[in-house]
C-alpha cells in the first residue's frame, strides 16, 4: 500500500491510486483481496455500479427477479433486510469470506472498474472509484467486443418505462417472466417491492442496521426525500448489463 500514489487532501481519509483509479484504503484492501481470492461460478451475475449511482435499487430489482419463485410476497428477505445484505459486495464480503454468499443465489455486486476486475471473472466471460467515465468506458469497450453479451440500459428510460426495462433485464439475466406471471401482475409486484418508498420503509432502513456480520456501514445508504435512490449499472460473468445516468 505504501508504494501506491496517495492523496491526503480528501475529506474523509486518504485516497490511493491503483490501476488508474483512486480508492479509500479499506476499499482498496478489499479490491486486492477480490483480485486474488474471488472464484466465480459459471452462473454468477455480477451487479457492477459506480458509487452513488443507484446500487441499492438495482440490487433490489435483480434480487427480486432472481428469487421470485423462491419466496412468496410475505417472506421475501427484502421486506426485512437491506439489499446490500441480500446481494454481497465482491470486494467487501464475498472475496473475504465465501460463506457470505448464498450458493443458491447467483448475485454479487461490485464497484470495481472493468480494468481492475479479478482475472477469474474476465477469464470466465469477458471521486473514489473514479473517474466516472473511465469506469464506464471499460464496460463499453467490452460491449463493443461482445455485443451479444452486453446490454445497456439508461436510467431515465428505466424510470420512464420501468415495466418494459425490468422485463428486458429479467430476460437478459436468464430469468424471463412467463405469460402466466405477467397476467398475475408479477412484474408490477416486483417493481412495487423494489420501489423507493418500499426501500425507505423496510425494517433495515428504519433501524439503520445491517445484519450483524455485514461490513458495510449503514450510513452509505441515503433514503431521505432530498436524495432519491438512483439506478446503477449491471454486469454479469455470463452477460454484462450496464445502466448509466445521462
Catalytic site positions: 111
Is the bond preceding residue 131 a cis peptide, omega within 30 degrees?
yes
Rounded to whole angstroms, the Cα distance separating 173 from 241 reads 9
Our CA angle for 39, 174, 69, nearest 5°, is 95
Q: Return the half-sphere exposure (C-beta side, CA atoms, 13 A cut-off) of residue 78.
A: 31
Q: Residue 137's CB: how many other CB atoms inside 10 A?
A: 14
* Residue 70 vs residues 53, 76, 101, 217, 232: alpha-carbon distances, Å: 28, 8, 16, 28, 25
Strand order in the sheet with 6-7: 6-7, 15-18, 21-24
Q: Which among 106, 108, 114, 105 is positioned nearest to 91, based on CA atoms? A: 108
Amino acid at each position: 500500500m505504501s508504494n501506491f500514489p496517495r492523496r491526503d487532501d480528501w475529506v474523509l481519509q486518504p485516497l490511493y491510486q491503483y490501476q488508474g483509479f483512486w480508492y479509500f484504503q479499506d476499499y482498496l484492501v478489499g479490491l486486492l483481496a477480490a483480485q486474488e481470492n474471488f472464484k466465480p461460478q459459471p452462473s454468477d451475475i455480477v451487479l457492477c455500479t459506480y458509487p452513488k449511482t443507484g446500487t441499492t435499487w438495482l440490487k433490489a430489482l435483480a434480487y427480486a427477479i432472481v428469487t421470485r419463485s423462491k419466496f412468496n410476497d410475505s417472506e421475501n428477505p427484502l421486506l426485512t433486510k437491506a439489499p446490500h445484505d441480500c446481494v454481497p459486495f465482491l470486494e467487501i464480503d464475498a472475496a473475504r469470506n465465501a460463506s457470505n454468499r448464498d450458493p443458491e443465489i447467483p448475485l454479487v455486486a461490485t464497484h470495481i472498474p472493468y480494468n481492475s476486475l479479478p482475472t477469474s471473472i474476465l477469464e470466465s466471460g469477458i471521486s473514489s472509484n473514479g473517474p466516472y467515465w473511465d469506469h464506464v468506458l471499460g464496460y463499453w469497450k467490452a460491449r463493443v467486443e461482445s455485443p451479444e453479451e452486453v446490454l445497456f440500459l439508461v436510467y431515465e428510460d428505466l424510470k420512464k418505462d420501468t415495466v418494459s426495462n425490468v422485463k428486458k433485464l429479467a430476460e437478459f439475466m436468464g430469468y424471463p417472466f412467463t405469460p402466466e406471471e405477467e397476467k398475475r401482475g408479477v412484474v408490477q409486484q416486483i417493481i412495487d417491492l423494489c420501489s423507493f418508498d418500499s426501500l425507505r420503509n423496510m425494517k433495515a432502513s428504519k433501524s439503520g442496521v445491517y445484519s450483524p456480520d455485514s461490513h458495510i456501514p449503514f450510513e452509505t445508504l441515503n433514503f431521505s426525500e432530498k436524495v432519491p435512490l438512483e439506478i446503477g449499472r449491471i454486469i454479469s460473468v455470463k452477460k454484462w448489463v450496464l445502466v448509466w445516468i445521462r
